[in-house]
């Protein structure tokens, strides 16, 4: 028969063996976006080709032309000393512009290094609501209607 000590050692070895040292990678968006976007050809690929190759866009807009935006993001947990902060592995964005017939006009691919080069404006927009402003008056009247929808509180006399 196995002694208690041997059973304990076998149990501990199973627990240690099941613990993986691989980090968990969380993936959001389209897998391998950089490789898939290389297969798209300007003035040749159309909307159906794009959806078949990459899938439906993450974001879609239409002004003069249709714009498809695809996103790929991979993160992993960092070291224990960083207190669980996520480390960004991949951050890709693909912007495709299609004409009114659905043919690819332009494509712009941004990766993690390109994103770091983008300059953002540091100025902060100031919001000024005065008691005389239209927005203040509108929100005040809306609050009154929510508080007293039938107008009974205003007609009560003490």
Q: Report if residue 103 sits inside a domain.
A: yes
Per-residue pLDDT, 10: 80
pLDDT band at 53 (very low <50, low <70, confident <90, very high): very high
Spatial CB neighbours of 127, under 8 Å, sequence gap ≥ 6: none
DSSP lists the bridge partners of residue 108 as 95
Q: Please give the C-alpha separations between residue 99 and each of 51, 63, 89, in angstroms, as whole numbers.
A: 15, 10, 33
Q: Report if residue 25 sits inside a domain.
A: no
Q: How far apart are CA 110 and CA 129, in angstroms?
A: 39
pTM for the full predicted model: 0.60
Q: Report if residue 51 sits inside a domain.
A: yes
Q: Report if residue 17 sits inside a domain.
A: no
Per-residue pLDDT, 130: 59
Q: Report if residue 69 sits inside a domain.
A: yes
Distance of CA 146 to the CA centre of its chain: 34
Q: How far apart are CA 102 and CA 48, in angstroms?
A: 8
Look at the chain and report how many structural domains it folds into: 1
pLDDT band at 158 (very low <50, low <70, confident <90, very high): very low
12: how many CB neighbours lie within 10 A of its CB? 10
Q: How far apart are CA 33 and CA 50, in angstroms?
A: 12
Q: Report if residue 1 sits inside a domain.
A: no
Structural domain including 75 reads: 32-118
More confident residue, 17 or 27: 27
User: What CATH number is given to the structural domain containing 38?
Assistant: 3.30.1450
Rounded mean pLDDT, 121-134: 70
């Amino acid at each position: 028969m196995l002694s208690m000590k041997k059973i304990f050692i076998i149990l501990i070895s199973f627990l240690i063996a099941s613990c993986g040292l691989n980090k968990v990678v969380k993936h959001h968006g389209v897998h391998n976006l950089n490789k898939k976007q290389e297969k798209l050809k300007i003035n040749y690929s159309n909307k159906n080709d794009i959806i078949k190759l990459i899938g439906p866009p993450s974001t879609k807009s239409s002004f003069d032309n249709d714009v498809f935006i695809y996103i790929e993001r991979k993160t992993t947990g960092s070291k224990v000393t960083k207190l669980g902060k996520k480390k960004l592995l991949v951050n890709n964005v693909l912007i495709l512009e299609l004409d009114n017939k659905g043919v690819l006009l332009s494509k712009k691919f941004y990766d993690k290094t390109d994103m770091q080069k983008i300059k953002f404006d540091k100025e902060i927009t100031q919001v000024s609501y005065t008691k005389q402003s239209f927005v203040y008056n509108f929100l005040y009247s809306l609050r009154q209607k929510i508080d007293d929808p039938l107008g009974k509180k205003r007609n009560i006399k003490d």
